[in-house]
Amino acid sequence: MGSIDKFNLPSSMRALEYSSATNFSVVNKPLPQVRRHDVLIQVKACGVCGTDVHIHHGEFGAVFPLVPGHETVGVVAAFGEEVEGFTIGDRVVADNSEVCASCHYCRRGQELFCEKFVAHGVMVDGGFAEYAVYPAHRVFQFRSDTLSDADATLLEPASCAAHGLDKIAPKMGSTVLIFGAGPTGLVLAQMLRENGGCRTVIAAPAGKKMEVAKSLNAADEFIELPRDKEASVATLAKLKSDNPYGFDIVVEATGSAAILEQSIDYVTKSGKLVVYGVYNDDDMVKFSPNKIFKEEITILGSFSQTYKFPAAIDYLTRGRVAVSGIVNKTYKLEQWQECLDAMANKTVIKAAIVFD
């Protein structure tokens, strides 16, 4: 403890804790220990994403007992004696990853693939609690009068989108087609438009997500795919015939292997196909190697991020990327089951756990 005593902290906190897969409860537990180089965050909001559903089922490398939550937003409540540059009450967002700095990949500057990667909210306790602790160099201050705590939970997904942008390296004047209107797709669409995309098209099923996509003005054009299979095939055929040369960049952001397989047909010669969804481990796709060879198509993946929080903060706090409405439902810790049900029924676009 030592220097931490000087901060005015309660002796315990409420947290959503899993004892094992699917077994969770709201518990009272001691605050996390603050090491010399840590910042303790009083959590205001923590985003919920598909990963948390996998964790609920014990997948994704979850280590129990566990407090999940990896999109933590809050204010600085305390910090260790080695920490500089933070003030109590600063609004902050946390990067949930800790890397070892010494493995094969870390030594090559590829920390994304760290072999001793520790993910807060997956392997150690995260943000579904009143307090959460992170190393200071993984905590980022931000100021905004317009970005709410719930909306700021999109800073983590936006960091992943910013990393995706680095991978895609779009050329000035690119045409872009994005399949899917989920939270990260909507952020990536706007970043692409801000960075070389001159015509951005989002194709996704008609519904809530598409409405938000439109309200955010996330693209130049919106292609609503009817729920009816036959009608959807016809809409896609029209998209194809309206764009006979295809698109410079095609992003598959739905996580459907079937859509990924079709996506390549919309890529122009010398274009890029971006694999940007979360797929099932046993999914397989079939591409014509001759198409990739003769048309010089690049297929690239992008799944997480390193060092992109500052960029994400600039985009979101300056309104260059709009996110309002993506988080369309907030829950208290005690409503976790309700939140899981809403995720399963797809009645939420993105949820966040909030505290007050």
Binding site for Zn ion (CB under 5 A): 49, 51, 99-100, 103, 106, 114
Q: Which is nearer to Zn ion, 106 or 161 (CB)?
A: 106
Q: For the CB of residue 305, give the shortest distance to Zn ion in the complex, in Å.
A: 11
Write out the two tokens for 139: 């905590």
Give strand pairing partners of 178: 202, 251
Joined together, the tokens standing for residue 6 give: 């000087």
Q: Which residue's entry shows tokens 């040369």?
A: 245
Nearer to Zn ion, 71 or 130 (CB): 71
- Give the nearer residue to Zn ion in terms of CB position, either 245 or 303: 303
* Beta carbon nearer to Zn ion, 140 or 247: 140
Task: Report the residue number, 149 or 248, with the smaller CB distance to Zn ion.
Answer: 149
Q: Closer to Zn ion by CB, 100 or 206: give it.
A: 100
Nearer Cβ to Zn ion (170/255): 255
Q: What percent of the residues of the chain are helix, what percent strand, and what percent coil, each to the nearest 5?
A: 30, 30, 40
The answer to whether the CB of 69 falls within 8 A of the CB of 44 is no
CA 334 to CA 351: how far, in whole Å?
14
* Minimum distance of Zn ion from residue 107's CB (angstroms): 8
Q: At what angle do helices 155-168 and 183-194 cross, to 10 degrees?
A: 50
Rounded to whole angstroms, the Cα distance separating 91 from 144 reads: 9
- As beta bridge partners, residue 14 has 28
Instruction: Please give the full DSSP string across 91-157, using - where no structure is assigned.
Output: EEEE--EE--SSSTTGGGT-GGG-TT-EEBTTTB--SSBSEEEEEGGGEEE---SS--HHHHTTHHH
Distinct helix (H) and strand (E) counts, the chain: 10, 17
Minimum gap (Å) between residue 87 Cβ and Zn ion: 28
CA 349 to chain centre: 13
Phi-psi map region of 289: left, alpha, beta (phi>0 left; psi -120 to 50 alpha): alpha
C-beta contacts of 265-268 below 8 A and 24+ residues apart: 265/240, 266/177, 266/239, 266/240, 267/295, 267/297, 268/175
Q: How far is the CB of 116 from Zn ion (least distance, A)?
A: 5
In the complex with Zn ion, the residue whose CB is nearer, 156 or 248, is 156
The answer to whether the peptide bond before residue 65 is cis (omega within 30 degrees of 0) is yes
User: Taking the complex as a whole, how short is the minimal distance between the CB of residue 182 and Zn ion, in angstroms?
Assistant: 11
Q: Which single residue is written with the structure tokens 């009816």?
A: 228
Closest approach of Cβ 350 to Zn ion, in Å? 10
346: phi then psi, degrees, rounded to nearest 5: 55, 35
231: helix, coil or strand?
helix
| Closest distance to Zn ion from the beta carbon of 41 (Å) | 17
Query: What is the closest distance, in whole angstroms, from the C-beta atom of residue 131 to Zn ion in the complex?
Result: 20
Task: Give the sign of the dihedral formed by CA 130, CA 182, CA 187, CA 277.
Answer: positive
Q: How far is the CB of 271 from Zn ion (least distance, A)?
A: 28
Between 122 and 201, name the residue whose CB sits nearer to Zn ion. 122
